[in-house]
Amino acid sequence: MSIKFSNVIHSYSASLDHWTLKISDWKIEGNESIFIHGPSGCGKTTLLRLIAGLINPLQGSINVFNQRIDLMNQRERDKFRANNVGFVFQEFNLIPYLSAIENVRLAQKFAGQQIKMKELFSLFAELNLKEHDLHKPTNQLSIGEKQRVAIVRAMINKPNLLIVDEPTSSLDKANKDDFMRLLMDSSERNGTLLLFVSHEYHLSSFFNKIIALNEIAQIQGF
């Protein structure tokens, strides 16, 4: 598995004169866990959005798992993400009025995956989620329980790539450490390439590769 950027320029306008991020040549390979850091607003989230095909570069090519994601149309990118990419966001982005099970099953439905309840309950159990909590609306769960549901939802389709964007900034130290251990265990067990973005550098000790964004990219204003 690999991700490769070649002569990529991103701009929020249609002009190359107003670029925000440039990456001439960057490649990652294998089932690594990678920590990408930099100050707030420097383009870390933009990088992840480019990799996931949520935005397109103005120029250059982005190859993800031997597929040119920058050449795909919207429907092709949606299908690619559903089959290959899991996401964990800062706010977890759970649908609050749905239960933990319903949130995860929805992710399976989008990917066109067959729902295997035995496997689903097994994954919940591995992350210490009690069965009686799985039927509650997620807005009734604790932060720690929401974290676990977000990880299950991201991992249920066994993604090749897991993208994690600033998920710990609102958590206290105990919850941060628990979240990181669960995340690393889950991604390692599934052989998933993990890209984790944060400005909290102390979290880098969990990862086998550390990258400063300004080492691989030119960033407008930084």
Spans of all domains in the chain: 30-57+73-211
Does pLDDT of 158 surpass 80? yes
Q: Measuring CA to CA, which residue among 92, 109, 197, 196 is closest to residue 156? A: 109
143-155 vs 117-126: helix crossing angle, rounded to 10: 140
Does pLDDT of 143 surpass 90? no
Q: What is the pLDDT of residue 72?
A: 96
In angstroms, how far is CA 26 from the centroid of its own chain? 19
- Averaged pLDDT, 86-96: 85
Instruction: Name the percent of the chain lying above pLDDT 90.
Output: 44
Higher-confidence position of 191 and 89: 191
Does pLDDT of 171 surpass 80? no
Does pLDDT of 94 surpass 80? yes
Q: What is the pTM of this model?
A: 0.84
Distance separating alpha carbons of residues 222 and 214, to the nearest angstrom? 8
Please provide the DSSP assignment of 147-193 as one string.
Answer: HHHHHHHHHTT--SEEEEESTTTTS-HHHHHHHHHHHHHHHHHHT-E
Does pLDDT of 29 surpass 90? no
CA end-to-end span of the chain, whole Å? 31
Does pLDDT of 106 surpass 90? no
Distance separating alpha carbons of residues 138 and 37, to the nearest angstrom? 30
Task: Based on DSSP, count helices (H) and strands (E) in the chain, helices before strands.
Answer: 7, 10
- Within 10 angstroms of residue 21's Cβ, the number of other Cβ atoms is 22
Distance separating alpha carbons of residues 172 and 144, to the nearest angstrom? 11
Distance separating alpha carbons of residues 39 and 31, to the nearest angstrom? 26
Does pLDDT of 201 surpass 70? yes
- Averaged pLDDT, 81-93: 85
The SS3 call for residue 57 is coil
Span 37-75, pLDDT tens digits = 988 878 888 999 999 999 999 999 999 999 999 999 999
Q: CB under 8 Å, gap of 24 or more: what pairs does 21-27 form?
A: 21/46, 21/47, 21/50, 21/217, 21/218, 21/219, 21/220, 22/217, 22/218, 23/47, 23/60, 23/216, 23/217, 23/218, 26/216, 26/217, 27/2, 27/3
Higher-confidence position of 188 and 144: 188
Superfamily of structural domain 30-57+73-211: P-loop containing nucleotide triphosphate hydrolases (3.40.50.300)
Does pLDDT of 15 surpass 70? no
- Averaged pLDDT, 199-215: 92
Higher-confidence position of 212 and 147: 212
Compute the mean pLDDT over every residue in the chain, rounded to the nearest whole number.
87
Q: What is the pLDDT of residue 221?
A: 60
Q: What is the pLDDT of residue 115?
A: 66
Distance separating alpha carbons of residues 222 and 215, to the nearest angstrom? 12
Higher-confidence position of 146 and 1: 146
Rounded to 5 degrees, φ, ψ at 115 are: -80, 115
